Structure 1
């Protein structure tokens, strides 16, 4: 299977499948304590939180299947700033987000909000 085919399968996944796939992705990248904290279709409150007390890491993780990923990241960064004591978050989208589109937005959030936004899953393909 080539990378484009894999990206299409990820984008076509339903909510439940994508959430499961995201957990596998997080585990593969070492975020073993990340967990689902609520159910799908809950109005966008599907934050996960990766906490590693030994390393003093507190990382909110947002999973999204929304088409307007720019708007979703903006909304999520506002929630993170209000609700979490974290300077970093991971945004996992089923959409393929080109680095040239993502990086300027991430840089703006770092400069304006002091939060580093990293992308994951199909976003990195």
Structure 2
């Protein structure tokens, strides 16, 4: 077995910590990790970025912070979900607006080939539509 370089290990640990803090909606911890050098472009083993994790919990303040720090609103996880697609499907209108303002690709598709509009309509998220 090959040992993981220390820098790669540190990046992996930081990515996991950032994604976890974002998933919990812990804005202070997310800021602390970013100040310590964590990258908003890092992802966990499932390819989830911190922005996608924050979106899953509808943590608008964390999502806004991450977008302000340059998070990629079009980054997709291993299921091809992005923050924009997940927010649209979940009816998280404020995060939909945030990601659109930051350049979300409205034509991006999920693993089923659908855009954010399809699940938003299906789930009755009228304001999102």
The TM-score with structure 2 as length reference comes to 0.31
Specify the structure having the higher radius of gyration (Cα). 2
The TM-score with structure 1 as length reference comes to 0.31
Where is the strand percentage greater, Structure 1 or Structure 2? Answer: 1
Where is the helix percentage greater, Structure 1 or Structure 2? Answer: 2
